[in-house]
Structure 1
Amino acid sequence: MDIETSGFHELSDWCGRLGLEKDGSAGELRQRLYSHYGVKPDSPGTSETKTDSREITIEKAENMKYFTIERVDENYAKISGDVYLKLFDEAKNETHVIRADTILFNFKENYLTATGNIQYQLEGETKTENFRGEKLTFNIDNSEGLFDKGITEQEKTVNDQDIVFYFKGDLINKTKENYVLLEDGRITSCDSDDPHYTIKATKIWLLTSNEWAIANGVVYIGRLPIFYFPAFLYGGDDIFFNPVFGYRSDFGNYLQTTTYLIGQKEEDEDTAFSFMQTAREDDYFKYEGLYLTEDENPSDKSRALQDYGRNSTNFLKVIFDYYTYLGIYSAIDLKLGTPKGKETEAFPDFINSFLSVFTNTELYLSIARTRYIENTANLISGLFPDENGIYSSIWQDSYFLKTIVPFRYGIDYSTTFDVEWLNFNIDINMYSEPSYTEDFSNRGENLDILSFLDPESTTGNSGSKTSSLDWSAVLDITPNMTAIEPWVNKFTINAETGLGFSSDTDNTFFYPDNFEQIITSLALGGQLLPFSSSAENDDKDGTAGGDIELRPPWDETAPPDSKKEEDSADVDSALTEPAPDIVIDLADYWSDNKTFGNNLTYSLSPKYTNRSQLSTSELTSPSDIDFNEIDYSYRTASLDGKLNYSANVYGNLFDIDNNISVVWDYKEHFNMDSLNEDTIQNYIDEDNQSSDAKITNNLTVSSTPMVYLDFLEDTKISYYFTTMIYNWDYSSDIAAYEGLFFQPTEDFISSHKISLKMPLELHGYNQTFEVSTTLPPVTMTTAGSLVLNYGISTSSFNTDFSEIDDGFAFSPLTFSEKLDFGNGNSFTNDISYNYSELYFEKNISKFNLSFFNGNLTTGADFTFDFTKNVSEYLNANIKYKFFSTTFSAKNTWNYDFNSETGWVQSAEQSFLPESLNFSIVQETDNIKLWKNRIDLKFDVNSSLNFKLIQFTDTNFSLKFGFEIEIYRFLDITFSSTSVNKSIYRYFPSYCSEIGINYINGFNDLIKSFNFFNIDDREESNFNLQSINIGLKHDLHDWDLNITYSGQPYVNDEGDYPEYNWENKLDISLKWKAIPDVKSELEIDKEGVSF
């Protein structure tokens, strides 16, 4: 019990048990108890105590007893009975939670000792640690703890699996710095009482972040020791140059180093022993010797620089690699963007000024000193004998431009200069040879120990060759046009130059291939004539844009006409009568829309290009490169200009839109002295075909004259006229360019049409009538359509007719009716009628029905041709859940079987049943069995397709698969595909028709499953196309995977092709905790590999 929180009766009983006076107030009773135990109200012994910045709260306990050992002058409190205690350390912002059967406080030494079912939890800002043990001694002042027979747990994700690792020790010592030392420690992820694997050591240190160490470590599989290492340290603090060592079969052992001056490497979460690591991505670091250690108090400049480099797009790193066979490689790799916010504190002002305009800068400079390597099946060596038999290295040279240099190199540079109105980008890359990137791009920055212990895991080269290079410089100028808007609101100048490189056929060097001397373009646009006025902004005399006064005739403010004063009374009385509901209030319409508005805009886009193709046919080495040797050059020029005028009166009462377009293209080849006559002529022909000019005009005039009628207000009349004003191109007839101005012919007038569209809304349903006709000189074509909607019904009528030489050609009148009943139920019928000849042409009917919430559906579509008086096509289907059947018939040729020639086509077509298909497609949800320990799922996709005309094409296919997951024991997957292309053999009538023997289908199926008789399986018409079986056995800490796949293949190695069966078996054993520890066995037609 607690003195401070106990009631009067509890305090009186307490004093009575101690032989103290039981009379008095509650305060007097509490004071007697405090005096008896020698404590004060705010000292330890209450339910809530404070020690410096630490606060202890006893959340739960059944009994509490205070006593003193006078010989050592120490006061104790013993708390028992499912004790739940919390200690909050304000300085470290940590909470310690202890659960135990009994806790003993030593107030003098500020220790507590817990025994029985101990659970200790340390809750920090970013992580929570859990310990269990038989006994705990805990220092309240500094949070040190000592566990007897202790265990701690950490959950880690390895290969997308959540695995709990257990760290056990006969003694676990947790220091005040939160270091953990395990005496006689053991590490495992196996939760069995007798673990399947264990790492045992006399001492295991779990230090800061990722740092841990082991002394006298032994790896046990079961009780069998398989590997011993006297000591091992995994540094939690990275070595600042990030060493990675390994082995490559082509280059030998290697050491790769990467030193970040700005930025930091990206952590690899899949390396070995990743379960011992914790996240550090938000930490700040500092150099201490060879290590990058956590910096708890970084300076503002250091913090700003690391924040700038924390973005993976910003870095500066120095690279140095050594390969025992190949040689050395070093590089500087830089990528910088514009600093933002406090990141600017990382650099001096002049660098910030530089980076503010050079917004993205990338620089890669590398150099390599390498030797030639002899790499054969039996030998890898970098030594070659000379004429005297003395072995030495032959070092690789390369060309820099035309000069031989004793090294290989790689350069990649790009930068963007960006100010308010100017953007300049340059991109240059250069490599000594195409294989340079193949040799050195495959690098690592995270050390994986097991990849070095297993040479096979690092064998090979995943880099790729660079086959071409491109240099470019691009300038964009976009000045601010605000001062002269809207006359000029777009003005952009673009200029580019570039040089392209290709590699020789042996991939030994790069050579310049094409040169873009200049590509320049201009984009100009603006608005020349913006003008609009409205009723509210008219002149005082009522005019708008001139002397013309536009007023509605019923405007009461309009002055009377002096010539018609005698009729004014009649006019007034007519205009004051109430208008029907369907008439819009035109006074509001006129006030809401502009009286007149117009717009004149323009755009102009000229472009010029000059390119040269360098001569490369005689190149054998970079020394042969000559920029003055040109095969040919060509220039292109183009102009794209538009002038658009649009105007409207009272909104869309009257609209006009006219667009004049000018397009000019020109191409010319020159410097062709080195080419033969045929090639020159081909280029001349290409120039002629690519050069032309056109001026076109596109006019659209439209009006919505029914704005005063609500239900017809969207009625629109439109006129379209598109013509070519001028055309200039090459004419092969006269072998010269020819320019032609507008002529009233179809060659110049591509569109001339008028149309009427009348949308009408009645009772909430839209009705639409449309009619259009082309006008001379375009061949006349008139088309009309009517769409009526009401309720579930949609009806439409469509037809057109065109002018031909001897009259008119009429298209059929098409009537379509659709009834939509909802929920997937509908009926549609389309019928066409030739009204010029007065007969029906074709009818297409479709229906779809759905029952039982869509579980049962059926539908059909049928086409009848009245002109031939035959049924043309029928398709009917029924689907119930996973089962469906489809029947089709069509007007086609019949076939008869001839024993000598096969199927023979009939002379005439007829309406015949074509196919009948049955299919089952089903994929089940997870089926839970055996108290949810087993998950079962299967899928079936089977179809039987009867071909009713040529029945020998009938086929059957079956795809079947299932998955069984037995919890923490076994996963089984199975899938197979089987086909049978001889189903007709099971029908006696079919067999007799083509003169072959009948086969019992059931017996044939049994033979296909007779795995004890290969002749039966080969004889059966049920053929297995593929089979896949997978077994994954959960061995607690290991996964045993067995997969088998088989499929037929054509063997061409013999005298004639034959089908053989290909088997492939894979067996792998993988350690869950460290997936890199694995063993694999593969057996296929090529043999056995391990």
Structure 2
Amino acid sequence: MLRPVIFFIVLTALCALVNPGAIVDAEEVTETGYPPVAEGSPETPRDAAEEDLPPLLKRTLLQDLETAEQGELLDWASTLGLSTRGSRRQIEDRILQHYQVRRSPAEPTQTDSAGSVLRIQRARGTRFFDMEQVDERTLRLSGGVLLTVEEKGVFHSIEAEEILINTDQSLLNARGNVVYTVQREDGDERFRGDSVLFQIDTWEGVFIQGVTESIQEVDQKDVTFFVQGEKISRSPGDILVVEGGTITSSRADPPNWSLKADRIWIFAPGEWGLRHAVLHVGRVPMFYFPYFFLPGDKLFFHPVAGSRTREGSFIFTTTYFYGEREESDAPFSIMSLTEAPRDSQRERQGLFLRIPDSPPEEETRPDWMLKVMADLYTRLGGYLGVAASMPKLGPLSRFDWRLGLGMSRNIYFENGRYSSYYVEEGEARQHWNQGFFLGVPVPFRYESKVHLQGVAGTVRFNLDMMMLSDTEFHRDFHDRSEKIDWGAFLSPSSEDNTSESATVNSINWNADLTWNPSVSHLRPWVRSLSISPARARVAWRSKADKDLPEAVLRPQSDKSPEEQFFYPQSVTFPDLGLTVEGELFRLREGSLRERTPSTDAEEERQEKSPQDRAPALRPPWEEEREEPDPRDDEDFRLPDRIGSMRGIRDASAGEITLTYRLNPTVRQDLFTDSGAWDTAEDVGLDWHYRTVQIRNQGRLVLNARSRDRIVTLNTTLSADQRHQSLEIMGDMSDAERNRQELNTYRGRSFTATQASQIDLFPLRGYESLESSSLRYSLSSRMYDHRFSELDSSGDPVYRGRWGRWDSSDITRHQTRALLQWKVWSGTQTLTATSDLPPRDRTYLGELRLERGFLTTRLSGGYRERNDRWKADNFVQNHTLYFPDQSLRLEQRLEHDPDRTELVLSRSTLRLGPLQTQLTGRRTVGYDFDPLQGWVSDQSDDFHWTRLTVDLRGKQQVQWWHRRVDLTLDGRVTLDIDLQRYTSSSLLIDYGATFSIHRFLDFRIAARSRNDLLYQYVPSLADEVERPRRNVLSDLADSLSLFDREAREETAFKIDSLSISAIHDLEDWELEFGYSGRPELETVGGQSRYEWRSVVTIFFRWRPVPEIKRNIRIEDGEIDFVD
């Protein structure tokens, strides 16, 4: 490091003699006029560590930093584990902070001064010479020169073969393989060129034959754009001018595409322009731009203009008074050559959001938003709305609301065109739509929406409300944008309304509240208490208006918003539910030991939560303690048995618990008299009837277990009481009144049930048999009280009855014996289950054995049906498999024990890519009749019914260092009906994929079907009187591409065909697709197959993917789709 330091000192001393203001030495660096850092600043911590620094390092650290080359400085920071990003000044500050050394008061701590620091990092040769003709001194640096300059927090570096510095004129001229790098905190930029001329004081200059690179993300891929110019100039106002500029992303020579401009201006971030620009595809000029300017300043009301078929020309404006619109990618990737700041980093000046000289202060609520929307349509009308989003407002975690008013004309569709006029009595007229609110007409359409969520302590609440004047409000006014879609001008698509702008036919207002208070002071009697949830709901529905104006009834009217109206259907309030759970009793084994006041206090203390515990008080006197007998230590003795301690549960101990759960609910529904409302003016608050439903549910659960869980008991007692009342509030017909009253009577009942289960584990002490158990379970209805009938006077009659020992009240009565034996490296299981009276009796058994790769499962049983016993099929399942699943054999057999006959046999073999299955069952047989076809022989015997064979294969071949790839795949599926062999079929799926790296991806796939397999067997073909076929000749005919008659005669028919080819054109992507399949059509009573095909062509420009075209050709029709 010493040699560069000596070289730098000598060189800068010589330069200072020529022009002290142009080249600054190490001593002058500290006097550039930066504001000093105050004592105790966080940037310059001072503590004892600074005083412990060696004196030599403390005195020379600043000089070492100033004289270090850029590479040495980066290595220094990297060695200390510090970040190497940012300017040189920032890296120096990190190193100083690491050593806890501060700069002198005159030392600069910011880099926004007008001055700059120029350093010669590397040069093989230096020379001063005078030009006597003009009386100027010039410093010549040669041999891999590297200069670094720091200005306004930006680090510049210049590399060249030769650099000339005119110290009198403050000019810098670099020549030969010039590389100019700019390092910022947000990224680096690099320029390359033949030569560059700079004014050192102002940094205005000219780059000759320069090129710069910019990486942009396009379709989640990084694309490098090159901006090249014959001359690049920089003015004192940081305006860059590129003469003879070319923009491209193609690396080919010449480029596959380029945008050549006579001049390119870059004024500010996100603000640039072109003059006389021509878009070339290869060498062919395709498009001419006389002028193009992308402003960096934006209108604060975000105007968007365009035209639609139905609504006409439009202009949307969105003004953000708080917050900013969601940022989206530029409509064209090439428009992102310079990064523009967000709207929140701008300030409003007049009608524009301009980029300020200094960034504005951060908003106190950056996640809030308030905007005003004003839209105007030439044909439809206008819209004015306000929307806001205010999260984290007090107890509200979310608060969104929106209000809107619309003025619209009725739209008519006639003679293939939309218009807001209709002709009546020879006069063109317009009809303005109106809205209604609870039967009151208003001369506008409206919307309102509120959605909020919040938490207040243990209470959570939610409110969701929306109100619309009509069902078409979203369709007419919500399909809007806040940003111009430039891509739509070059790649237009058909209009497509999103789900947000679709027709709305129903609305629900919902309000929910949940309360879960803390009940720790009530434990264990009350373990949880919650209101979950308390609801309120208003249901709005829509119906057709039966009294419409004549202008809306005209057949040319295009779905007028007045055709449907909203009305309140029902109101639900309250809908309240309360849940209480707790424990009434708990008894553990060992808890009945002798208790003392001290043990009670200790257990009470341990029951408290850690935050409730207080330190135990100790008496101020000394307690007397018994001294242990020293003779006890001489003999070995076991420690005392530790009893059951509170807080440390013994999992094997016995326990009895009694818990409860209460769940009362109440709900009131009010229904409007909507049946009498035929028009929007009829809507009001006329109530039809009201219902109140009260339901009380409760249960007691008793759980008991013995030590080591040898015996467990679970008993649940449940009660369910329902009550419903009805109040008629309007006119109601007798039939409807009777129906509503009958539903009310049926909604009153009381039911009590019980469910008990006892499990016994008699083999707990044997590890291999410990999971074996005996179970008895019983579930029944204990009492039932409900509506029975109406008496002669029309009053309801209720009857109650206690549970009886019959199948209607005993819902479950079952025993089960389970034997599980862990042996042979597996678990062998024997299960016996029986249903007991008064249920229909059943006795079922299952045996499951496993050993290595072999598994066997046997099952069977008897069932009682109508006092008769019937045996279940005896089922056998045997499986043999290899661990890698390369071979798997499965056999399923079902026997009928009554007739001792085989009912079903299914054999499955999986061997690598081959799978075959043979199925036979007891069923009727079939014989072929030439006149009637297949006719059942009415027999009931065992027949082999179906054989399937499935074979799959795939092979991949690569050549030319894996640049060429060929993949072949196929599948053959043979399905043979062994009874009606004319129903057999053969499917052949085959395909091939051929890829050439960065050139072509070709894929062809087809399916061939043959439903005439039986004709290849002479005896079968003769039996059904069909001609015989030869499989080899059929295959040959199916491949006769140029013989239509042969392809029609063959039994192998194409079921589907698809071809796709993607041609990689480096900067373009061309995709061709073809798909076809036969479809059955009936014309004139005759059915025949017709081939239907679809051809698609997709073209996309990769650097600008918004420029694309998708063409679809089907049935001779050409469609341009998005």
On whether the aligned pair clears a TM of 0.5, the verdict is yes
Indicate how the Cα distance of structure 1 residues 1012 and 785 shifts in structure 2: closer, same or farther if over 3 A, else same: same
Among 1018, 1026, 1032, the residue aligned to 1:996: 1026
Q: What is the letter of the counterpart of residue 990 of structure 1?
A: L
Q: Give the Cα–Cα distance (whole angstroms) in 2 for the partners of residues 173 and 77 of structure 1.
A: 23
Q: CA separation in 2, counterparts of 1:809 and 1:720?
A: 14
Tell me the CA shift for residue 446 of structure 1.
Answer: 1.9
Distance 2:18 2:217 in 1: 56
Aligned to 1:919: 950
Corresponding residue of 2:128: 67
- Aligned match of 1:661: 718
Query: What is the identity, as a one-letter code, of the residue corresponding to 2:854?
Result: S
How far residue 171 of structure 1 moved from its aligned partner, in angstroms, is 0.9
Partner of 2:148: 87
User: Quick check: 1:247–1:452 contact (8 Å CA) kept in 2?
Assistant: no
Letter in 1 for 2:858: D
Deviations 1:112-171 (A, max 9, x none): 433333333323212222222222234556655532111122222333444322212111
Rate the CA distance shift 1:41–1:123 in 2: closer, same or farther, 3 A. closer
What are the Cα deviations for residues 813-840 of structure 1, in whole angstroms up to 9, with x where unaligned? 65443212xxxx3242537699999x99
Name the counterpart of 2:880: 848
1:792 aligns with 2:829: no
Matched residue, 1:904: 935
Q: Say if 1:246 and 1:458, in contact at 8 Å, map to a contact too.
A: no
On the 8 A contact 1:247/1:459 being kept in 2, the answer is no
Are the aligned partners of 1:786 and 1:796 in contact in 2 as well (CA < 8 Å)? yes
Moved more, 807-816 or 787-796: 807-816
Aligned 1:299-318 pairs, distance under 5 A? 300=361, 302-305=362-365, 308-309=366-367, 314-318=368-372
Q: In structure 2, do the counterparts of structure 1 residues 108 and 47 end up closer, same or farther at CA, with 3 Å as the change threshold?
A: farther
**Aligned partners of 1:3, 1:1000: CA distance in 2, in Å?**
93
Residue identity in the other structure for 1:817: L
CA distances 1:289-335 after superposition (whole Å, capped 9, x unpaired): 333344575555x4323xx22xxxx4211111111211211100112
What pairs up with 1:432-831 in 2 under 5 angstroms? 432-452=469-489, 463-482=501-520, 484-493=522-531, 495-505=534-544, 507-529=563-585, 538-540=594-596, 587=641, 599-628=657-686, 630=688, 632-644=689-701, 658-671=715-728, 674-698=731-755, 722-732=779-789, 736-741=797-802, 750=811, 782-792=815-825, 794-800=827-833, 811=843, 814-820=846-852, 825-828=853-856, 830=858
Among 391, 394, 397, the alignment partner of 2:431 is: 394
Q: Deviations over 1:910-929 (max 9, x none)?
A: 4444433332323456x543
Distance 1:804 1:726 in 2: 20
Which residue does 1:883 correspond to in 2?
A: 914
Does 1:1069 find its partner at 2:1099? yes
Structure 1 CA distance, aligned partners of 2:580 and 2:815? 41
CA distance 1:533–1:384, change in 2 (3 Å) = same
State the match for 1:78 in structure 2. 141
- Within the alignment, does 1:364 sit opposite 2:406 as a pair? no
DSSP 3-state at the match of 2:394: helix
Q: 1:199 to 1:681 in 2, by over 3 A?
A: same
Q: Indicate the residue corresponding to 2:300 in structure 1.
A: 240
Q: Return the letter of the residue paired with 1:895.
A: Y
| Cross-structure match for 1:325 | 379
Task: From the superposition, tell whether residues 1026 and 367 of structure 1 become closer, same or farther in structure 2 (CA, over 3 Å).
Answer: same
Distance 1:491 1:793 in 2: 46
Relative to structure 1, the CA distance from residue 282 to residue 859 in structure 2 (aligned partners, 3 Å threshold; closer, same or farther) is farther
Name 1:1020's counterpart in structure 2.
1050
Structure 1 unaligned regions, length at least 5: 12-26, 339-354, 546-577, 579-583, 752-777
Aligned CA RMSD, in angstroms, stands at 4.6
Equivalent residue number for residue 932 of structure 1: 962
**AA paired with 2:174?**
A
Q: Is the CA contact (8 Å cut-off) linking 2:719 and 2:753 kept in structure 1?
A: yes
SS, match of residue 1033 in structure 1: strand
Amino acid at match of 1:602: Y
- Give the deviation of 1:990 after TM superposition: 1.5
Structure 2: runs of 5+ lacking an equivalent: 29-65, 71-87, 90-107, 546-562, 602-635
CA contact (8 A) 1:842 1:867 kept: no
Q: 1:504 aligns to what SS in structure 2?
A: strand
In the aligned structure 2, how far is the partner of 1:374 from the partner of 1:153? 54
Question: Is the deviation greater in 939-948 or in 217-226?
Answer: 217-226
Structure 1 residue identity aligned to 2:679? S
Is the contact made by 2:145 and 2:162 (CA closer than 8 Å) also made in structure 1? no
Distance 1:541 1:745, change over 3 A: farther
- Shift of the 937–178 alpha-carbon distance from structure 1 to 2, 3 Å rule, reads farther
Map 1:166-205 → 2, pairs under 5 A: 166-174=226-234, 179-205=239-265
Q: 1:744-776: CA deviations, max 9, x gaps?
A: 66655555xxxxxxxxxxxxxxxxxxxxxxxxx
Q: Is the 8 A contact 1:593 1:651 kept in 2?
A: no
**Structure 1 residues 858, 95: closer, same or farther in 2, change over 3 A?**
farther
How far 1:396 moved relative to its partner? 2.2
Residues 161/363 of structure 1: CA separation in 2 closer, same or farther (3 Å cut): same
Q: Kindly provide the amino acid, as one letter, of the partner of residue 1043 in structure 1.
A: G
How many residues align structurally?
Answer: 971
Any idea what SS the aligned residue of 1:337 has? coil
Change (3 A) 1:1080 1:124: same
Residues 1032-1071 of structure 1 mapped to structure 2, 5 A cutoff: 1032-1071=1062-1101
Q: Is the 8 A contact 2:24 2:117 kept in 1?
A: no
Please state how far the C-alpha of 1:478 moved relative to its aligned partner: 5.0
Report the CA distance between 1:635 and its aligned residue.
2.4
The answer to whether the 8 Å contact 1:37/1:66 transfers is no
Q: What residue identity is the alignment partner of 2:507?
A: L
Of 401, 406, 418, the residue aligned with 2:443 is 406
Change (3 A) 1:97 1:654: same
Q: Distance in 2 between matches of 1:890 and 1:181?
A: 87
Give the residue type in structure 2 aligned to 1:726: Y
- TM-score w.r.t. structure 1 length? 0.78
Alpha carbons of structure 1 residues 132 and 376: separation in structure 2 relative to 1, 3 Å: farther
Deviation at 1:66, TM superposition (A): 2.1
Change (3 A) 1:96 1:893: farther
Superposition deviation, residue 888 in structure 1: 3.9
Distance, in Å, in 2 between the alignment partners of 1:950 and 1:828 is: 33
- Cα distance in structure 2, aligned partners of 1:107 and 1:32: 11
8 Å contact from structure 1 (residues 813, 835) kept in 2: no
5 Å-filtered alignment, 1:373-388, equals 373-385=411-423, 387=425
Contact kept, 8 Å, 2:330 with 2:336, in 1: the verdict is: no
Instruction: Output one character per residue of 1:703-729: Cα deviation in whole Å (capped at 9) or x when no partner.
Output: 889999999988888775655443211
Which residue type is aligned with residue 171 of structure 1?
Answer: K
The residue aligned with 2:48 is none
Hey, what does 1:961 align to over in structure 2? 991
Give the secondary structure class of the aligned counterpart of 1:451: helix
Match of 1:265 among 300, 317, 325: 325
Structure 2-normalised TM-score?
A: 0.76
Letter in 2 for 1:819: R
